[in-house]
Amino acid sequence: MEGVWFTFSLPDFSYAFLSVLLEGIPFILLGTLVSGLVEQFLPAGAMTRYLPRNAFLGICASSALGIVFPMCECGVVPVIRRLISKGLPISSAVAYMLAAPIVNPIVAYSTFAAFRGQGALEFTILRLGLAFFVSIIVSLAVHNLSIRHVLRQQVIEDLALNSQSGAPASGSFWKRMLLAMHAGTRDLFDVGRYFIFGVAVASLFSTAVNQEMLLPLALNDWFAVASMMGLAGVLSLCSTSDAFVAATFVAFPGIAKLAFLVFGPMMDLRLLFIYAAVFRKRFVLGLAIGLFVLIGLLCMRLSVLGL
């Protein structure tokens, strides 16, 4: 097997596939339930009322929202879909979507724990800081795009429908809870399909591709950063635990591990498909390339820190 880069095994694939599904379904479910509650109980315009009116400040605040409202990368998509329908600007929604899975206390703690003895505080600050910065830069770019270039046609139609139907349905608490469950159900169906497809692709790569083939790339900073981001994209790890995996790549420079930790929760094979439930395919592809280039360049600049 040594030297062979791809070896498929159906039992291994099904084992990895099932383990990610079992881990991810409860989080997807949580995200869609929250999205249903947002749909029914968050008054339209509430988000715009509480966030700063200035676009830049609004994006900054949204990027930091994960500190008080943490959400994992699987569950965040249905939530931002509903927040958009409640009037949250798309740029702010993208800022929350990209930053919340990293800029939150759980990930800060796990990163600090994983890098004990390897500059834990430095790594934790750099990871959260870089994720915050990248989400702002990307969201500012999204701010200049037309809604038609960002959201799927079906989502735009849903937005139009919501704006016509106005505020959440009135009625008793239980009636609204019932409607919230139905809204969550719809999101679960939409996101679930993309999630299953993404998990299948990620499981294929994580079991069939010989990961030791990447090791020679560790010798060059550029290749190391790019290959670690590629690996993060393929492995599709959860942001709460990916630091424990990243810390083991001792052959790779610190900037490559940092790139792994920032890029992975923002974009991986599984997310590529989950994002496509809300955003246009072309936008998702552009987002993936943009994040890859931006995070790669920023991490290369950070090499001056001697990580």
Cα–Cα distance for residue pair 104/69, rounded to 1 Å? 8
Give the count of residues interacting with other proteins (CB under 8 A).
Answer: 62
**Which of the ranges 5-13, 41-49, 62-70, 281-289 carries the binding residues for other proteins, by CB under 8 A?**
5-13
57 binds other proteins (CB under 8 A): no
If we measure between CA atoms, which residue out of 133, 131, 24, 127 comes closest to residue 78?
A: 24
Q: Of 185, 187, 186, 157, whose CA–CA distance to 77 is shortest?
A: 187
Nearer to other proteins, 5 or 222 (CB): 5
Return the range that interacts with other proteins (CB under 8 A); candidates 21-29, 226-234, 252-260, 292-300: 21-29
* Burial zone of 46 (CB within 10 Å; 0-12 exposed, 13-18 middle, 19+ buried): middle
Asked whether 264 and 238 are in contact (CB, 8 A), the reply is no
Query: Quick check: 235 binds other proteins (CB under 8 A)?
Result: yes
**Min CB(62)–other proteins separation in Å:** 27
State the Cα–Cα distance between residues 92 and 97, nearest whole angstrom. Answer: 9
Which residue's CB is nearer to other proteins, number 175 or number 301? 175
Neighbours of 185 (CB within 10 A): 13
Nearer to other proteins, 30 or 145 (CB): 30
224 in Cβ contact with 251 (< 8 Å): no
Closer to other proteins by Cβ: residue 54 or 154: 154
Among 14, 54, 163, 220, which residue sits at the site for other proteins (rule: CB under 8 A)? 14
The closest alpha carbon to 191, from 15, 25, 19, belongs to: 25
Out of 43, 56, 212, 282, the only residue in the binding site for other proteins (CB under 8 A) is: 212
End-to-end CA distance of the chain: 34
Residues 189-208 touching other proteins, rule: CB under 8 A, are: 189, 192-193, 196, 200, 202-203, 206-208
Q: Which is nearer to other proteins, 63 or 242 (CB)?
A: 242
Q: Residue 269, interface with other proteins (CB under 8 A)? A: no
β-pair partners for 209: 6
Distance CA 84, CA 94 (A): 10
**Footprint of other proteins on this chain (CB under 8 A)?**
1-2, 7-12, 14-23, 25-27, 29, 33, 113-114, 116-117, 154, 165, 178-179, 181-186, 188-189, 192-193, 196, 200, 202-203, 206-212, 235, 237-238, 240-241, 244-245, 247-248, 250
